[in-house]
Amino acid sequence: MAMKIENIDKLRIVNYPTPVLLKVAAPVETFDDQLAALVDRMFELMRLEKGVGLAAPQVGIGLRLFICNATGEPDDDTVIVNPRFVELDGAEEADEGCLSLPEVTVNVRRAKSVVLDAQDLQGNEARLAAEDLPARIWQHETDHLDGKLILDYMSPADEIANRRAIKQLKDDYRAAKAR
């Protein structure tokens, strides 16, 4: 089943509580020019917002695909399709933001190093390993593919600190739907 994506050049980053962000994404089954165009658009949007990672659900597309670049160097652009973690090691807490949750920051405990099996943009299988920031990005973006957000990690203190920003996102979403 190939997913037809209309107007890739018009895709934008969607904000919480857009429903696609809260659903498990479908596996990518078709590796074609349309998928490559989607990835190109995602890199444009990620760079525009000065992010380090972006998952397909964040642009409204429910596919198991994310892009990332921890350094900002063009040679470090990474595309990860249909990821499956095979190893998570260590633990580290750090504040995380999210392009779909502007103004929200949550302290999240994640594995310090990870190994995952995935596919590249051509559908080739690969085993990849990362630690520190790239490992954190991979875990954050894979959470998006599983319908999970940094909100799911909030402590009571995080809830208080982010209450106003989350309410604003919900109000903005309701107002946009009403138009």
The string of pLDDT tens digits covering residues 89-128 is 999 999 999 999 999 999 999 999 999 999 999 999 999 9
Confidence at residue 2, expressed as pLDDT on a 0 to 100 scale = 54
Q: Tell me the two tokens of residue 44.
A: 């444009």
The string of pLDDT tens digits covering residues 135-152 is 999 999 999 999 999 999
What's the predicted TM-score (pTM) here? Answer: 0.95
Go through the chain and tell me how many residues it has.
179
Distance between CA atoms of 68 and 52, rounded to whole angstroms?
5
Distance between CA atoms of 125 and 123, rounded to whole angstroms?
6
Among residues 63, 46, 153, which one has the least CA distance to residue 100?
A: 46
Confidence at residue 3, expressed as pLDDT on a 0 to 100 scale = 65
Share of residues in the chain with pLDDT > 90 (%): 93
Confidence at residue 32, expressed as pLDDT on a 0 to 100 scale = 94
Domain 8-90+109-149 matching CATH 3.90.45.10: the answer reads yes
SS3 65: strand
Confidence at residue 1, expressed as pLDDT on a 0 to 100 scale = 42
Q: Which residue has the higher pLDDT, 4 or 78?
A: 78
Active-site position among 73, 93, 96, 141: 141
Annotated active-site residue 141? The verdict is yes
Q: Tell me the two tokens of residue 101.
A: 């949750």
The string of pLDDT tens digits covering residues 120-131 is 999 999 999 999
The string of pLDDT tens digits covering residues 58-71 is 999 999 999 999 99
